[in-house]
């Protein structure tokens, strides 16, 4: 691989290592354990050694959450630098890395800064103050900026030009004819929409919106020899990339800010432009919300959105070469510290590379994937009633695994058929993130218009989707849908649907409980499980659950459904304790969990106890883990693996062997404090033995992967698995795609035609 590594930091005088640590990242070949991968941080903060006899609460037993989130982003960035990944997909992973970093600063750094300002002295689980964590985050983020620049400027941009004939040029690289054409473009299309804002005693420093791209223009008055400053917002509504005219390349672009910089003098006649430097601000999204005092949750969220727009700045990104006096002015006016400034070696905001990844060049992408119709949903009955989804579910539960199996032909089909079926009395759903134009939302609107009782809980506090969710909720209210806007003090993260149908003179329930959102786009990109069932106990539980969500029923009872924050922690801890008893009585205790993140102190402590008892534990954790695996005497029997590939691993599955009578749950909750304590979550047991067996096979395949998997060790280092010489490559996601196709073909699969 052609790569230019981030220079290693100078050697430092050894000092006592702070507790916890930021896991390092390596990608190695078989038997190689000493060569850092492209995109890896040059050094890592090692966790402190565990002192003899340390209690399970000791901070040395835990990794830091904030640094763990950044480490996940290192693994995403590695996908952009891995030559085995198709070229445009590498560009996509680069853009995702940059977008993740934006969100990290808005949410996590914003939250730490708010704690620091408030004088919070509470230590993190790994024993750090907010100030200490901010210092470590700043150092780690600076390394990531350097790696992003290296990946783009020295790897991907040259590859795009050489292999895909996609040239991304700087203004200085263009010839005179191309510059003249772009200057005409500037005059006709950009100049009319620009609004320069002067800063002087008569013009206060302007408000700068979150994540917007700006130019800081430093000018000299030619006659008076005085210096002046103006801010110019770069218009990106027509895209970040301007096509270059008269180019020999199939695709040729230049960043719009460089077109503006080259022609900025036209905006200031009579002034000499000394510098026009790009910069970008990030504002805190972790604003304070007083749920206890809220009387109107919708009004509260609307106010939060307004406050977020004007929230304090937590990061300033600047172009390399910005004059010192301009940088100092921005720091002063934005009320920042020098440590809040990040200098970009190339372009600002690599998330804007996403349109390049969408270019129509299929040979540089993953092979297209079309989800298959789940085998049970392919069957046709002799009559129309026997062919509908309700008759299929009466014959048995259906397990669907997206995006390998079609969301449209399963979950969406259930909602659409329910909307059109004259026997359906009611449809109830929780919606966490979904688009206004979603087919699911359209089906709910249609059902309400046809007189069915439709009740939807729309979680308006879903971070960064609040505005979309409010619009969608109000649209549903307009046609008679009963909309609940979540519960004050609790975020509703559950993924459940309940359909009530009149059959033989009495209501019968049909349900979906899933791990992912009812969002058409993410169902093709995120891996999620869902259970479709006509089980009467689960149906009765969901009836009670929706009564809890929409009415006053805090003491609601459930037979099969596991609900947080009420019962979920207790249920999981009881299952872990049961595996300990099995192990201690001479049996084999076994736990496998697949989740997005693991940071809850209580669950980690329970897993440590289980490991100490000899229980074998495998954790498939896509994101961050605060648990340190492989610690002698604490987590010898715990293994942690992270899987990253073309699809985002999003499902939550929990397996407990139970002495040979296994229990398996799926649902919306990770083992995180926020899921178990602060959210309404649902898990459901998978009761059908054949479906349980299929899910166990999926878990075992994930544990065997040697292409997408990263092993986490006790020192916080992620090592990517590679096949040994002569060993077959096991790509978990590709094998699941092949398996889905094989099962569909064996059942005579056909594309499912959705109703219009």
Q: In whole angstroms, how far apart are CA 254 and each of 177, 241, 352, 448, 575?
A: 14, 6, 12, 49, 57
Both tokens of 748, joined, read: 């005579």
Scored b (16 or more CB within 10 A) or e, 563-580 reads bbebebbebbeebbebbb
Residue 303's CB: how many other CB atoms inside 10 A?
14
Closest CA to 145 of 98, 92, 89: 98
402 is catalytic: no
DSSP string covering 92-153: HHHHHHHHHHHHHIIIIIHHHHHHHHHT--PPPTTS--HHHHHHHHHHHHHHHHHHHHHIII
Q: Which residue has the tokens 């700006």?
A: 214
Question: How far is 46 from 353, CA to CA, in rounded Å?
Answer: 34
What's the alpha-carbon Rg for the chain, to the nearest Å?
28
Closest CA to 341 of 354, 352, 327: 327
Residues 6+ apart with CB under 8 A from 320: 343, 344, 345
Alpha helices in 271-388 (DSSP H): 297-309, 324-333, 354-357, 384-387
β-bridge pairing 590-595 and 313-319: unpaired
- Longest pairwise C-alpha distance within the chain: 92
Question: How far is 688 from 396, CA to CA, in rounded Å?
Answer: 8
Both tokens of 162, joined, read: 């050489």
DSSP string covering 478-520: HTT-EEE--BTTBEE---EEEEEEEETTEEEEEEEEESS-S-T
Residue 430's CB: how many other CB atoms inside 10 A?
26
Closest CA to 585 of 616, 615, 617: 615
Question: How far is 726 from 679, CA to CA, in rounded Å?
Answer: 48
Residue 587's CB: how many other CB atoms inside 10 A?
14
Side-chain half-sphere exposure of 644, counting CA atoms within 13 A: 27
Contact between 410 and 532 (Cβ < 8 Å) = yes
Contact between 213 and 195 (Cβ < 8 Å) = no
**Which position among 493, 512, 519, 650 bears the catalytic label?**
493
Sheet holding 341-344, edge to edge: 197-199, 227-233, 213-221, 271-283, 313-319, 341-344
Question: How far is 553 from 555, CA to CA, in rounded Å?
Answer: 6
Catalytic residues: 493
């Amino acid at each position: 691989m052609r790569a230019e590594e981030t220079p290693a930091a100078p050697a430092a005088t050894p000092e006592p290592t702070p507790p916890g640590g930021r896991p390092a990242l390596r990608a190695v070949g078989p038997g190689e354990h000493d060569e850092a991968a492209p995109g890896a941080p040059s050094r890592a903060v090692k966790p402190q050694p565990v002192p003899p006899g340390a209690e399970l609460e000791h901070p040395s037993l835990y990794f830091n959450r904030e640094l763990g989130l950044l480490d996940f982003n290192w693994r995403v960035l590695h996908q952009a630098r891995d030559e085995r990944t198709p070229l445009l997909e590498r560009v996509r992973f680069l853009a995702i890395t940059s977008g993740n970093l934006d969100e990290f600063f808005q949410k996590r750094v914003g939250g730490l800064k708010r704690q620091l300002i408030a004088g919070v002295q509470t230590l993190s689980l790994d024993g750090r103050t907010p100030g200490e964590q901010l210092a470590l985050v700043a150092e780690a983020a600076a390394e990531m900026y350097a790696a992003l620049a290296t990946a783009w400027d020295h790897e991907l941009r040259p590859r795009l030009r050489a292999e895909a004939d996609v040239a991304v040029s700087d203004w200085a690289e263009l010839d005179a004819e191309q510059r003249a054409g772009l200057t005409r473009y500037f005059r006709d299309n950009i100049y009319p929409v620009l609004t320069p804002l002067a800063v002087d005693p008569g013009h206060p420093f302007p408000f700068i919106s979150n994540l917007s791209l700006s130019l800081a223009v430093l000018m000299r008055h030619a006659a008076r020899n005085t210096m002046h400053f103006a801010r110019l917002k770069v218009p990106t509504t027509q895209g970040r990339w301007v096509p270059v005219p008269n180019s020999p390349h199939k695709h040729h672009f230049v960043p719009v800010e460089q077109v503006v910089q080259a022609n900025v003098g036209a905006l200031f006649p009579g002034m000499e432009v000394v510098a026009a430097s790009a910069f970008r601000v990030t504002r805190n999204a972790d604003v304070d919300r007083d749920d206890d005092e809220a009387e109107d949750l919708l009004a509260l969220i609307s106010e939060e959105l307004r406050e977020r727009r004007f929230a304090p700045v937590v990061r300033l990104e600047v172009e390399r070469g910005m004059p010192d006096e301009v940088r100092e002015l921005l720091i002063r006016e934005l009320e920042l510290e020098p440590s809040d400034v990040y200098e970009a070696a190339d372009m600002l905001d690599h998330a804007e590379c996403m349109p390049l990844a969408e270019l129509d060049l299929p040979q540089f992408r993953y092979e297209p994937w079309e989800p298959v119709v789940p085998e049970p949903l392919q069957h046709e009955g002799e009559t129309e009633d026997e062919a509908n989804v309700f008759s299929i579910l009466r014959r048995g539960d259906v397990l669907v695994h997206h995006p390998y199996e079609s969301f449209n032909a399963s979950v969406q089909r259930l909602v659409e058929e329910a909307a059109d079926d004259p026997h359906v009395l009611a449809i109830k759903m929780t919606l966490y993130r979904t688009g206004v134009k979603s087919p699911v939302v359209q089906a709910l609107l249609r059902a309400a218009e046809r007189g069915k009782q439709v009740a939807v809980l729309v979680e308006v506090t879903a971070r960064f989707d609040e505005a979309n969710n409010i619009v969608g909720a109000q649209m549903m209210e307009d046609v008679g849908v009963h909309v609940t806007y979540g519960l004050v003090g609790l975020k509703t993260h559950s993924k459940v649907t309940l359909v009530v149908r009149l059959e033989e003179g009495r209501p019968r329930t049909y349900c979906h409980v899933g791990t992912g959102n009812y969002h058409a786009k993410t169902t093709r990109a995120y891996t999620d499980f869902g259970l479709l069932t006509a089980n009467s106990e689960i149906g009765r539980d969901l009836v009670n659950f929706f009564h809890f969500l929409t009415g006053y029923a805090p003491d609601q009872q459930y037979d099969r459904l596991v609900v947080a924050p009420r019962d979920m922690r207790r249920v999981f801890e009881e299952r872990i304790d049961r595996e300990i008893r099995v192990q201690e009585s001479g049996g084999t205790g076994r736990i496998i969990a697949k989740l997005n993140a693991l940071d809850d102190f209580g669950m980690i402590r329970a897993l440590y106890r289980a490991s100490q008892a000899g229980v074998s534990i495998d954790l498939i954790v896509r994101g961050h883990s605060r648990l340190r695996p492989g610690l002698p005497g604490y987590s010898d029997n715990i293994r942690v693996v992270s899987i990253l590939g073309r699809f985002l691993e999003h499902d939550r599955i929990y397996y407990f062997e139970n002495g040979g009578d296994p229990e398996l749950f799926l649902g919306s909750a990770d083992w995180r404090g926020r899921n178990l304590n602060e959210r309404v979550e649902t898990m459901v047991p998978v009761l059908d033995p054949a479906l349980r067996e299929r899910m166990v096979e999926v878990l075992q395949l994930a544990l065997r992967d040697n292409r997408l998997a990263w092993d986490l060790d006790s020192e916080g280092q992620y090592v990517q698995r590679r096949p040994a010489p002569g060993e077959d490559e096991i790509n978990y996601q590709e094998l699941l795609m092949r398996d889905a196709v094989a099962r569909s073909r064996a059942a005579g699969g056909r594309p499912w035609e959705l109703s219009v």
